[in-house]
Structure 1
Amino acid sequence: MTSARPAHRRHLLCALAAPLALAIQTGPSAAEPTFQPLLGSWGGSGTYRLQDGTSEKLKCDAYYTGSGSQLGIAVRCQGQTNKIEMRSKLTANGGALSGSWEERTYNAAGSVSGKLTEDRLSLAITGGVGGSMIVTYDKSKQTVAIATEGIPLKSVTVSLSRK
């Protein structure tokens, strides 16, 4: 009789635990990340660095437009001697990103692929310039870090706040 009682308890425990395990497995899934926190106008400053070690301070404006799975990006930065005007169109499929980019001042263009999370865009840039672009953000601020390969421009880092 004593051996039946622990078996009974195990069965009862399993019967009670099964709905909990099912609820955990079928609970609400995390929402897919969206571009919503980025939409709007942003402004700030940053720095670009060249391969020869020189750098220059920049004043920048960024504009994010779109809805649903589409995002348009326009970033304009002006330094004392140089300017950068980058545009990109991105499409999200879940967390995967794809799209195109162009830099109008230097007449370069290419494709973009990457990943979207709730607080970050991670992009690989190919085409006229190779490199990466990381945008980390929340509702009121963002940081843009661009690293390039094979051209005199080595990197651009910008801190922006919502306008």
Structure 2
Amino acid sequence: MAGTWNGGGSVTLDDGSSERIRCRATYHVAGPRMSMSLTCASDAYKFNLAADVQSDGNAVSGSWSESSRNVSGSIEGRGGGGNFQVLASAPGFNANISLQTRGNKQSVTIRADSQFRGANISLTK
């Protein structure tokens, strides 16, 4: 997983509209710890997600932040081997995030309960 990944997908907003986005993800892995940044943008929408997590067996926990909206919170879930299912939480916000890696291809699915409803992203290394 370590390294830089590029690709794109779509983001869905609370009004039901959907926009194509371009994305770049960078992962740094050191033993049971991983930090990541994911930046995605369309002509009218942008988000900058950063996370620091650590694993204890299959349990994953850590923190996340989204800089363009100045929000941060905790991450908890399960994962390993490049595949993760986590819940990112903050006051007034919850998002289920699924990340699956197979070779040099990665898919990221985000489902949220806020003005940002979700994203489907495909990346390659």
Identify the structure with the greater strand proportion: 2
Tell me if TM exceeds 0.5: yes
| Unaligned segments of structure 1, at least 5 residues | 1-37
1:132 aligns with 2:96: yes
How many residues are treated as equivalent by the alignment? 124
Match of 1:155 among 109, 118, 123: 118
Residue pairs, 1:9-88, within 5 angstroms: 38-88=1-51
- Tell me by how many angstroms 1:119 deviates: 4.2
TM-score of the pair, normalised by structure 2:
0.95
Greater RCO (Cα-Cα under 8 Å, separation 6 or more): 2
RMSD: 1.0
Which residue of structure 1 aligns with residue 68 of structure 2? 105
| Unaligned segments of structure 2, at least 5 residues | none
Q: Which runs of 4+ in 1 moved over 3 A?
A: none
Which residue of structure 1 aligns with residue 55 of structure 2? 92
- Tell me by how many angstroms 1:53 deviates: 0.9
- Which one-letter code corresponds to 2:104 in the other structure? S
- Which one-letter code corresponds to 1:143 in the other structure? S
Which residue of structure 2 aligns with residue 142 of structure 1? 106
Report the identity percentage.
26
Distance across 2 between alignment mates of 1:44 and 1:94: 30
- Tell me by how many angstroms 1:117 deviates: 3.2
Point out the structure with max Rg over C-alpha: 1
Identify the structure with the greater helix proportion: 1
